[in-house]
Amino acid sequence: MALCILAVSGRAPPLCHRREAASGHRPPFSAAAAQVVARRKLKHATGAAGTRSCIPALCLRTGLRNGSAIRAQTDMAKVSGPIPPPEHPTFDLVALIWRALEEDAGGVGDVTSLSTIPKETKAVATFLAKADGVLAGLVVAEKVFEQIDPRIKVEWSAADGDRVTKGQKFGVVTGPAQGILIAERVALNFMQRMGGIATATAAMVAETEGYPAKVLETRKTVPGLRLLDKWAVLIGGGQNHRMGLYDMIMIKDNHIAAAGGITAAVQRAQSYLKDREMSMGIEVETRTLEEVREVMELIDSQAAGGGEANPVTRVMLDNMTKMDPANDSGIDVSMMQEAVALVGGRVETEGSGNVTLSTIKRIASTGVTYVSVGALTHSVAALDISFNIETQ
C-alpha cells in the first residue's frame, strides 16, 4: 500500500513513501513528487523567461546549481591556519559549508536581504567578543564568506587559538552588504561553537598543568561536525581521540559482552587485523580492577610469546572514580590510582568518567596518560560573539 501526500499548494516538500510488508523497502519520493519539487525550485530560481532572478552566489544556485562547479572537494591538508585540522579520509569542508548555507536558504534564498538591500550596497562589519574565551573557527568563517561572494574580504587582528577578552574587536569584513548578511549567521554558528569548545578545552588543559596527562575529547560530537569539533579541541590545546570507527579498535563494555569476554574480544580483533594486513592501535575499556588484571595478563602473555603485530596499546579506566564531598577535591580516585599501578606503564592509560573542571586535576594526578572528556563537545557553551554591520 502506498502512502503519498503531495503538498502542491503549500511550502512543505511532498512526502511519498511506499510501505512494503515483505521487504520494508521505502522509496523516498515518487516520480511525480520529484517533478513537483523540481518545478517549484525552478520557479523560485528563475524569472518568467527562465533566467536567474538573483546573483548565483546570493540565491545559492537554487534549482539551477551545478554541483561539480560549486562543490570541488576541499583538500584539508591545504586549509591554512595556525593550527591545522585533524585528518579525515572523506571530510569536505566546502560541502559542509554549502549544506549549512542551503539549509538557511531553504531553496529560496535570503528573502530579507535580497528584498531590502540594493545589490550595489557596500558594507563594513566587525566581529566583537562578548565574553572572554579562545577563538576558533576563523578559518572556517572566512571560507563561508568566500563561498557566498569572493568580493567579500575578511581581515583578522587575531587568529585561531588566541585568547580574547569581552569587548575586544578581532575581525573586519568588507564587501557587498547582501553577501555579508547572507553569510553572517552560518559563519557565526561555526565560530561560536568551535570557540566554545576551544575555550572549554583550554580551561581543562590549564587544570592539568604539572601532570603528564593529555586532555582528549570523545566521539560525542554533533553529527556532520565531528572534524570541526575535534579541530576546536586541538585549537584549545587538547589532543584528539580516535576520529571515528575506522582508525582505532576500541573494545568497550558492549563489545566485551557481545564477544563473550575481554580475552575473546581482543584475540578476535587481532585476528581481524592480521587477516586483512591492517595495523592500528587497540584500546580496551575496563570498569573494575579484575578487568584491568585480565587485560594485563593477556598483554604480558602475548609479549612473552613473542608479541602481537597489533598488541593492546591502551587501557581505559572507566568510572574508576566516585564523587566524594568529604574529599578535599570532591572526588575519590583511589581505585584509579590502583589501576594505574597495575598497568605499571606497560601501555597507555585513559581515565574517563566524572571528569569536570573541578575534578580533572585530581584525576590527572593519578598518573593516567590521558583524560577523556565527553563534555568538551556534547554539552559545550558557545562563545558569545557579535557581528555589527555599517553601510558605506
The verdict on residue 230 lying in a domain is no
Query: 152 or 22: whose pLDDT is higher?
Result: 152
Query: 144 or 72: whose pLDDT is higher?
Result: 144
Residues classed as catalytic:
185, 220, 252, 285, 318
Span 143-153, mean pLDDT?
96
Counting Cα atoms < 13 Å in the Cβ hemisphere of 221 gives 23
Residues 351 and 385 in one domain: no
Amino acid at site 313 = T
The verdict on residue 53 lying in a domain is no
- Residue 256, pLDDT > 90, answer yes
- Tens of pLDDT, residue by residue over 257-283, are 999 999 999 999 999 999 999 999 999
- Tens of pLDDT, residue by residue over 161-220, are 999 999 999 999 999 999 999 999 999 999 999 999 999 999 999 999 999 999 999 999
| Residue 110, domain extent | 93-197+381-391
Amino acid at site 7 = A
Report residue 74's pLDDT band, with 50, 70 and 90 as the boundaries.
Answer: low
Residues 167 and 275 in one domain: no
Read off the pTM.
0.83
Residue with cell 592501535: 281
pLDDT given at position 27: 38
Residues 325 and 385 in one domain: no
Residues 387 and 355 in one domain: no
* Torsion sign over Cα 191, 193, 194, 195: positive
* Torsion sign over Cα 374, 253, 273, 295: positive
Judge whether 285 and 252 are in contact, CB under 8 Å: yes
The verdict on residue 62 lying in a domain is no
Pick the closest to residue 362 from 307, 322, 312, 313 (CA basis).
Answer: 322
